[in-house]
Amino acid sequence: MIDEKDKIKATSELIADLQSFRDEVITKYPKKVGKKRAKSIVLSDPDTPPEIQANVRTIPGIITQRGCTYAGCKGVVLGPTRDIVNITHGPIGCGFYSWLTRRNQTQPGDDNDANFIPYCFSTDIQDSNIVFGGEEKLKQAIREAYELFHPHAIAIFSTCPVGLIGDDVHRVARQMKEEIGEGINIFGFSCEGYRGVSQSAGHHIANNGLFKNLIGRDDKVRGSQKYRVNLLGEYNIGGDAFELERVFEKCGINLIATFSGNSTIQKFENAHTADLNMVMCHRSINYVAEMMETAFGIPWIKVQPIGAHSTAKMLRKIAQYFGEQELKDRVEEVIAEEMIAVETACEKARKRTVGKLAMLFVGGSRAHHYQDLFEELGMTTIAAGYEFGHRDDYEGRSVIPTIQIDADSRNIEEITVTRDATRYNPRKTEEELKALEAKGLEFNEYHGLMNQMEKGTLVIDDLSHYEMDKLIEKYHPDVFCAGIKEKFCVQKMGIPLKQLHNYDYGGPYAGFKGAINFYNDIEMIAGASIWKEIKAPWENEAYVEAQYAY
Ligand code: CFM
């Protein structure tokens, strides 16, 4: 058994070596490529985060982890809403690819509640549509979907070929709304896969669409509690939203809307009646928080309910915001009650996890959020990065004014939001906000991933496959967190990979019960030695022969 002190020493020696990784990798690339990649590979410094290059085009020929703009709009933001018929206008592959693979779950109230999530709607366009146009086929698809399901809303998502041939999905939406008549909302998204450098562009397009077409249409005040909040950037992967709903309910807090885990049209339309917006995934949804603040006067705070202590912190922030003793007491009661099981599970797992190493290369927020859970397990994250984060997700929002807007960002519509004439109602006065800030509650702020990472650890934006191979060869982490594209390559190298997009088959990982699930899963993964036993055939046999199977 290695002593805990030895483990810490070994970790700090390893961190001291990370600079050499950067140098070695950069010199291996062709000069021009190396120069560009050098700007996206930095050593973290939590006190003065270095500038990192992010949200720029991937270099052609490099194997990236990224997805496309369509995936960010249809798959990520609108996908988890159960009662909108989401029609992919494009070839069938795009619709099929974004069908349930993300494991966003939903729970309809009863049999009468619409739930279209199990379906995959696509216009399945063919070569002839590319030549003669696909608008008629799209109209037909909308008619068919309406006749079959009578939904309250239909959304149309453009894929790459649709943009190239110039089908106007917005015009089709208008025409079909007129044809079908009252009682239906139909809207389109110009979220062609190529429109931005990654799925991040799709989030922005989706957020604009949510704001223009859904938010603020239903003024009825719902729910019985006086504490009314929205959770933005939570997508109910593996049941995360269910756990958070349970926690809020236990505290006596009404969750008016979640964007968009386990959501419905009505929740979006009603969201402006909440008194606080909490941003969980900053990358995908900070736009909605800002728009709702401008239009309706709802302040927003950053929260992070991944990790038991972070969940407790979130609840305390809510109680601080509303300021009432009764809520503060209730929150403390809930935390104390939930922490009993959390601490037992954590202690058990820590026997096999303390001192182990993690690497996280995921999306635009989880590579940060999950570091809290690893910290609770006594593990060190020695390298991390986003696929499509922006500089603010790494360095904190204070750098936003210095971010250069390039042609790719200009490609995305910026909508102008102004105060809603009748619904604008500042939930707190300037003085109240200042007083809360003086007590440590920060508004409109996110400090980013580097703020948390130990000095000298590696931060890499848009990790390439080559860089991933080298990281594993050199540092043998105990767990590598990424997605399905990386999973089997990494495991063939003898290192376990935990999918942090869809959680493999696991979850929930949010909230208190989620933390327990995560401890158990990581204990099994990081404590197992089976991966090191796996040898590729060529490591055992001098000559490997195979045949193609037809
Ligand atoms: Fe936000 Fe997400 Fe993520 Fe994201 Fe995603 Fe996702 Fe993700 Mo996959 S919205 S940025 S586009 S937390 S699908 S639920 S896991 S890459 S880190």
Q: Evaluate the CA torsion angle 274, 279, 280, 283 in order and state its sign.
A: positive
* Atom number of ligand 1 nearest to Cα 501: 15
Q: Is 105 in the pocket of ligand 1 (CB under 6 A)?
A: no
pLDDT, tens digit (0-9, with 9 covering 90-100), for 473-504? 999 999 999 999 999 999 989 999 999 999 99
Q: Is 363 in the pocket of ligand 1 (CB under 6 A)?
A: yes
Q: What are phi and psi of 196, to 5 degrees?
A: -130, -175
Measured between alpha carbons, how far is 467 from 112 in angstroms, rounded to an integer?
A: 50
Measured between alpha carbons, how far is 270 from 146 in angstroms, rounded to an integer?
A: 24
Per-residue burial over 378-417, b = 16 or more CB atoms within 10 Å of its CB, e = otherwise: bbbbbbbbbbbbbbbbbbbbebeeeeeeeebbebbeeeeb
* Atom number of ligand 1 nearest to Cα 199: 11
Per-residue burial over 122-134, b = 16 or more CB atoms within 10 Å of its CB, e = otherwise: bbbbeeebeeebb
Label residue 1 by pLDDT band (50, 70, 90): very low
From the centroid of its chain, how far is CA 379? 22
What lies within 8 Å, CB to CB, of 340 at 6+ separation is none
**Rounded distance from Cα 253 to ligand 1 centre (Å):** 26
Q: Is 366 in the pocket of ligand 1 (CB under 6 A)?
A: yes
pLDDT, tens digit (0-9, with 9 covering 90-100), for 91-102? 999 999 999 999
For the chain, give the percent of residues with pLDDT over 70.
Answer: 99
List the residue whose alpha carbon is closest to atom 8 of ligand 1.
501
Single-letter code of the amino acid located at 303: V
Q: Is 283 in the pocket of ligand 1 (CB under 6 A)?
A: yes
Q: Domains plus CATH for the chain?
A: 69-193 (3.40.50.1980)
For residue 346, pLDDT beyond 70: yes
Active site residues: 68, 71, 102, 203
Measured between alpha carbons, how far is 104 from 88 in angstroms, rounded to an integer?
A: 18
pLDDT, tens digit (0-9, with 9 covering 90-100), for 124-142? 999 999 999 999 999 999 9
Which H or E run contains 499?
Answer: strand 497-499
**Rounded distance from Cα 501 to ligand 1 centre (Å):** 6
Q: Is 501 in the pocket of ligand 1 (CB under 6 A)?
A: yes
> What are the start-end ranges of the H helices in 29-159?
31-38, 69-70, 92-97, 127-132, 135-149
Task: Return the pLDDT at 223.
Answer: 85
Q: Is 69 in the pocket of ligand 1 (CB under 6 A)?
A: no
- Tell me the HSE value of 11 on the side-chain side, using a 13 A CA sphere: 23
From the centroid of its chain, how far is CA 400? 20
pLDDT, tens digit (0-9, with 9 covering 90-100), for 454-466? 999 999 999 999 9
Inter-residue long-range contacts of 123-128, CB under 8 Å, 24+ positions, other chains counted:
123/87, 123/88, 123/89, 123/90, 124/91, 124/92, 124/95, 125/89, 125/90, 125/91, 125/161, 125/162
Comparing 11-20, 208-217, 370-379, 462-471, which segment has the lowest mean pLDDT?
11-20
- The predicted model gives 363-368 an average pLDDT of 98
Q: Are strands 41-43 and 458-460 parallel, antiparallel or unpaired?
A: antiparallel
* Atom number of ligand 1 nearest to Cα 71: 11
3-state secondary structure of 122: strand
Task: Return the pLDDT at 536.
Answer: 75
Measured between alpha carbons, how far is 247 from 224 in angstroms, rounded to an integer?
A: 16
List the residue whose alpha carbon is closest to atom 17 of ligand 1.
363
Return the number of other C-beta atoms located less than 10 Å from residue 454's C-beta: 15
Label residue 543 by pLDDT band (50, 70, 90): confident
Q: What are phi and psi of 105, to 5 degrees?
A: -100, 165
Question: Is residue 299 within 8 Å of 277, Cβ to Cβ?
Answer: yes
Dihedral Cα 288, 294, 295, 296, nearest 10 deg: 90
Q: What is the DSSP string of 223-286?
A: -S-S-EEEEEEE--BTTHHHHHHHHHHHHT-EEEEEEETTB-HHHHHHGGG-SEEEESSHHHHH
Residue written as tokens 């236990």? 250
- The predicted model gives 98-120 an average pLDDT of 94
3-state secondary structure of 507: coil
